[in-house]
Chain A
Amino acid sequence: MTRHLLSAADLSRDDALLILDTATELARLADRPIKKLPTLRGRTIVNLFFEDSTRTRSSFEAAAKRLSADVINFSAKGSSVSKGESLKDTALTLEAMGADGVVIRHEASGAPHRLAGWIKGCVVNAGDGTHEHPTQALLDAFTMRRHLGNLDGRRVAIVGDVLHSRVARSNVLLLRTLGADVTVVAPPTLLPVGIDGWSCAYSYDLDAVLPKTDVVMMLRVQRERMNASYFPNAREYSRRYGLDAARMAVLPDHAIVMHPGPMNRGMEIAAEVADSERSVIVEQVTNGVSVRMAVLYLLLGGSESAIGMEPLPAELTGAEGGAT
């Protein structure tokens, strides 16, 4: 059974902790003279990116190369996709080249899920539309654990454009699994309709939330996904939901500031906050490589995957016989 990493919800607490612990050991590789392991030698990983990305694509590429895998980079620009090829045909072409794993970013929510049904290799979701970005949530959790230890009972505020954010959804799911208490903070227009069904609290008032927060994660306002005006203007948004030095001062002393990048300095986060000692934004990028190495190792390193989606229960696959 091939397993995939499509959603942060696919990960049990044990899976998530195994990834984070594995990443902790892999992070130590950075101190060595030779930052490379032979583990995925002979495996081929395709980076299939239909959407612009610098840090996620290069992070996955670095992770795969440090594990000695062969990497094929495929971006939609300058490929057959611009000639009208469908996702399925693209995927089957890549599979015919012998891809063991496909890392996919796509502007359509659910594209990785469809892909997982078409090809034999394992699929890692590197961001699909406004849906999920599970490896970002893992690297965020990894960064929080490094600074705060166990996440049980830790209070995390996710602030900004939650409506268009795949990072927010994946983080809420994963942090809940790891026992943290999450509050999403946004103007009413930038919260999704089904927010009551999410396993987190929500608030419209950033100033009320900040004093009782261990981690504050700022989200970028995703102008490119907005087809209507969700707030009057950038200045008003920034004044009510931006993190500036005055707001940072009300945070508890141990609290850290995160941002998945790319940042709009002066919009959701002030430059002085982004460059402050509280900010772990650059460290998040470093940790991303270790966490993605852990995911690729656990999915592709052995005879079968150690993490990810469980096989469907018998009643759904139509298999005969009772449980066990």
Chain B
Amino acid sequence: MTAAHQHQRQNDQSDQPAMPREVLAAPDMSRALTRIAHEILERTHGGADVLLLGIPTRGVGLARRLAERMSAVENRVVPVGSLDITMYRDDLRIRPPRPLARTEVPGNGVGGMVVVLVDDVLFSGRTVRAALDALGELGRPRAVQLAVLIDRGHRELPIKADYVGKNLPTSVREQVTVLIEELDGRDAVLLGPASSSAQGGDVR
């Protein structure tokens, strides 16, 4: 709280538009993901029938990393895929149509599996609601859990993550941007004012 407050003051003093600041560096991100991987294995007693599904775009990369870590610990392949939620969004009617991303479910589908949804940032909870709808059309998982790298608060639906990399108190006017090596060239989590970084984050 105090750190954020100080940062706010620094921004006020400069005439430059506020730059997004790094709240999680690459090593912090890596440690958080390793911890989540272990938590999933612990909670699911070795993760025998766990299926990780990343929500595009950044969630897919994070899900793959979790799967790698879990596979390394348990010495077997943990299945990982992606779940596109575009067609299930509740804001479709108030925005232009978006391009679709890929849904890829490995193996024998989601039936009977413990599906862990993976996303980069948990905010309003609307993405997760859409993901639950999308998942329901694919089959009937035994259980569904949620893993996120950042929980930034401001929930608008009764949804809670099972695994959280970092709880990050934010203002609704701020923008949280997760960068991942595969897509952005480096790993980091940035916190900045919505106006500037919202555009930068979307373009990249």
A residues at B contact (CB < 8 Å): 18, 21-22, 25-26, 28, 32-34, 36-39, 297-298, 301-306
Looking at the complex, which one of B87, B88, B96, B100 makes contact with A305 (CB distance below 8 Å)? B96
How far, in whole Å, are A189 and B26 apart by their CA atoms in the complex?
A: 69
Give the residues in chain A near B95, CB-CB below 8 Å. 302-303
Q: B102 in the interface, Cβ–Cβ < 8 Å?
A: yes
Give the residues in chain B near A305, CB-CB below 8 Å. 96-97
Asked whether, in the complex, the Cβ of B102 is within 8 Å of the Cβ of A25, the reply is yes
List residues of B (95-119) whose CB comes within 8 Å of A's CBs.
Answer: 95-103
Asked whether, in the complex, the Cβ of A303 is within 8 Å of the Cβ of B87, the reply is no
Asked whether, in the complex, the Cβ of B96 is within 8 Å of the Cβ of A34, the reply is no
A-B contact pairs, 26 of them (CB 8 A): A21-B100, A22-B99, A22-B100, A25-B84, A25-B100, A25-B101, A25-B103, A28-B102, A28-B103, A32-B137, A33-B137, A33-B138, A34-B138, A36-B137, A37-B87, A38-B87, A39-B87, A297-B87, A301-B92, A302-B93, A302-B97, A303-B93, A303-B95, A304-B96, A305-B96, A305-B97
Q: Is the interface of B mostly helix, strand, loop or mixed?
A: loop
Measured CB to CB, the closest approach of chain A to B21, in angstroms, equals: 33
How far, in whole Å, are A268 and B95 apart by their CA atoms in the complex?
A: 47
How far, in whole Å, are A297 and B137 apart by their CA atoms in the complex?
A: 19
Asked whether, in the complex, the Cβ of B100 is within 8 Å of the Cβ of A26, the reply is yes
- Contact A39 to B96, CB < 8 A, known contacts A28-B103, A33-B139, A34-B137: no
- 9 additional A-B residue pairs with CB within 8 Å, beyond A303-B96, A305-B97: A18-B99, A21-B99, A28-B102, A32-B138, A34-B138, A37-B137, A301-B92, A303-B93, A306-B96
Q: B203 in the interface, Cβ–Cβ < 8 Å?
A: no
A-B pairs with lowest CB-CB distance, top 6? A302-B97, A25-B100, A301-B97, A37-B87, A306-B97, A39-B87
Contacts across chains A and B counted by CB atoms under 8 Å: 52
How far, in whole Å, are A75 and B97 apart by their CA atoms in the complex?
A: 30
How far, in whole Å, are A198 and B115 apart by their CA atoms in the complex?
A: 54
Asked whether, in the complex, the Cβ of B101 is within 8 Å of the Cβ of A303, the reply is no
How far, in whole Å, are A37 and B98 apart by their CA atoms in the complex?
A: 15
Asked whether, in the complex, the Cβ of B88 is within 8 Å of the Cβ of A38, the reply is yes
Q: B3 in the interface, Cβ–Cβ < 8 Å?
A: no
Give the residues in chain A near B103, CB-CB below 8 Å. 25, 28
Contact string against A for B residues 61-99, beta-carbon threshold 8 Å, 1 for contact and 0 otherwise: 000000000000000000000001001100011111111
Give the residues in chain A near B94, CB-CB below 8 Å. 302-303
**Nearest residue in A to B103 (C-beta to C-beta)?**
A28
**Nearest residue in B to A302 (C-beta to C-beta)?**
B97
**Nearest residue in B to A42 (C-beta to C-beta)?**
B93
How far, in whole Å, are A38 and B87 apart by their CA atoms in the complex?
A: 7
Measured CB to CB, the closest approach of chain B to A251, in angstroms, equals: 33
Measured CB to CB, the closest approach of chain B to A211, in angstroms, equals: 38
Measured CB to CB, the closest approach of chain A to B50, in angstroms, equals: 21
Give the residues in chain B near A34, CB-CB below 8 Å. 137-138
- Contact A39 to B101, CB < 8 A, known contacts A25-B84, A32-B137, A34-B137: no
Measured CB to CB, the closest approach of chain B to A12, in angstroms, equals: 15
